[in-house]
Amino acid sequence: MLSTKVNPYEMAVKQLEEVASFIKLKPSILEYLKHPKREFIISIPVRMDDGSVKIFTGYRVQHNFALGPTKGGFRYHPDVTLDEVRALAMWMTWKCAVMDLPYGGAKGGVKVDPKQLSDNELERLTRRYAFELIPIIGPEKDIPAPDVNTNPRTMAWFMDTYSMSVGYTSPGVVTGKPIEIGGSKGRVEATGKGVVFILNEVLNRLGMNPQDVRIAIQGFGNVGTHAAFDAYKLGCKIVAVSDVSGGLYEPSGLDIPTLFDWAIQNPNKHLSSYPEYSKITNKDLLELEDIDVLIPAALEGVITENNADNIKAKIIIEGANGPTTPDAEKMLLGKGKIVVPDVVANAGGVTVSYFEWVQDLQSFFWEEEEINNKLKKIMVKAFDRVWTYSKEQNISLRMAAYAYAVSKVARALELRGIFP
């Protein structure tokens, strides 16, 4: 799923090694954290609508259990690889730790183009994938969630399959479910909303008025649409958005409420079919000259050493996981730009997933206002801690976030020890 030949797992390990050197992590702990605790590779047979059987490859990687059960989404995409899932699981460990959530990181995926499957085929794929994972998942083991090309409906199928296997309804086995079967209010919007909470904190610290800020957002799925909508409500001008088909550009600002409604009503249509505005490529969007903030909210590895010099935005807020390679980030920081790392910027989703899990376990549910207030409190606290440490140590925000997260996990490992 990378736009270059960068290996995502090698990228994640490189980031870990850099922070390990900074915090003087014990070599034995570093070696431990480089390797996922558990990896599953699954052959998933699916009976297609025409009666034929196709075999899809699925993955689930659980990186670390030191702080609690593992947590992380699973995605459907034709370019899913084991190394990608490994990287995403490791990043989830740091994300949960930096947010002070009682989880380790996990991630999953199936190598498939879901747009080529009927709804019935997609349901059979999801249920078989869930069934194969039953030995290693559960509310106290590993709690999956939505990711790229998965959604509340997918989570409902997954939860039902697990529940049928164990013999009782277990809403806490996944998060991101429909509200009617144990989902949480505010979960769908959480990642995009969290991105804008962080955006507002950055603007406040830089003394920038939201009304004067121009933003481009790469990715117009769940994260990008809600980030655009909340940034628009904040007063920012969204001048460009894009999806896999390309983007829309309007220097005077896009009509985000209308575009948001169109995207919600037409989930299978690409932005290239939208009848208004100038059309641009994803490359063009990343390199726009008239923007202050760039929010990469699509896939990993889109900002590399090949295009970092061309990025004009002063602030990059990572709505996606791993959108900036380590070499590219060094180039951006060298030019005085601010890069807010994914483990902080897009942690709204896993934070509200935590809220959902807690609500499921106690069978007591909160109102959306309470959820949003709790989300903002946790994200602002984490960002403030990372920003302050970054300034005190004269290090990047990513290094500050990783230093806190890796130190926390390492301390837990030392206290627990190695069995036997």
- For the cut 60, the answer to whether the pLDDT of residue 69 exceeds it is yes
Task: Give the Cα separation of 118 and 46 in Å (integer).
Answer: 12
Task: Give the Cα separation of 251 and 356 in Å (integer).
Answer: 39
pLDDT range class, residue 2, cuts 50, 70, 90: very low
Are 382 and 100 in contact by the 8 Å Cβ rule? The answer is yes
Task: Give the Cα separation of 309 and 318 in Å (integer).
Answer: 17
3-state secondary structure at position 367: coil
- For the cut 50, the answer to whether the pLDDT of residue 188 exceeds it is yes
3-state secondary structure at position 396: coil
pLDDT range class, residue 323, cuts 50, 70, 90: very high
Sheet containing 278-280: which strands, arranged edge to edge?
278-280, 246-249, 237-243, 214-218, 293-296, 315-317, 338-340
- The CATH superfamily holding the domain 36-171 is Leucine Dehydrogenase, chain A, domain 1 (3.40.50.10860)
Locate the domains of the chain by residue range.
36-171, 190-298
pLDDT value, residue 23: 97
Angle between helix 190-206 and helix 348-362 axes, rounded to 10 deg: 130
Residue 216 carries which side chain, given as an amino acid letter? A
Q: pTM score, two decimals?
A: 0.94
| H-helix or E-strand spanning residue 382 | helix 368-393
pLDDT value, residue 47: 98
Tokens of 29: 């702990």
Are 242 and 271 in contact by the 8 Å Cβ rule? The answer is yes
Each residue of 346-396: pLDDT tens digit? 999 999 999 999 999 999 999 999 999 999 999 999 999 999 999 999 999
pLDDT value, residue 6: 76
Specify the residue for token string 């008025």: 209
3-state secondary structure at position 41: strand
Mean pLDDT of 81-95: 96
pLDDT range class, residue 3, cuts 50, 70, 90: very low
Active site residue 107: yes
- Please, what is the Cα angle at 321 between 255 and 21, to 5 degrees? 140
Distances (CA, A) of 318 to 70, 195, 339: 22, 8, 8
- CATH of region 190-298: 3.40.50.720
Residues in contact with 368: Cβ distance below 8 Å, sequence separation at least 6, in sequence order: 185, 186
Residues in contact with 128: Cβ distance below 8 Å, sequence separation at least 6, in sequence order: 44, 45, 46
pLDDT value, residue 5: 64
Are 183 and 176 in contact by the 8 Å Cβ rule? The answer is yes
User: Which one-letter DSSP state was computed for residue 171?
Assistant: G
Half-sphere exposure of 131 (CA within 13 A, CB side): 13
Shared fold status for 36-171 and 190-298: yes
Buried b (16+ CB within 10 A) or exposed e, 22-36: eeebeeebbebbeeb
3-state secondary structure at position 312: coil
Q: Mind giving me the DSSP string for 118-170?
A: -HHHHHHHHHHHHHHHGGG-BTTTEEEEE-TT--HHHHHHHHHHHHHHHTS--
- For the cut 90, the answer to whether the pLDDT of residue 148 exceeds it is no
Residues in contact with 176: Cβ distance below 8 Å, sequence separation at least 6, in sequence order: 73, 145, 146, 150, 151, 152, 155, 183, 187, 188, 353, 356
pLDDT range class, residue 70, cuts 50, 70, 90: very high
| H-helix or E-strand spanning residue 230 | helix 222-234
Are 69 and 142 in contact by the 8 Å Cβ rule? The answer is yes
| Catalytic, out of 107, 185, 193, 408 | 107
Are 296 and 224 in contact by the 8 Å Cβ rule? The answer is no
Which class for 243: exposed (0-12), middle (13-18), buried (19 or more C-beta within 10 A)? buried
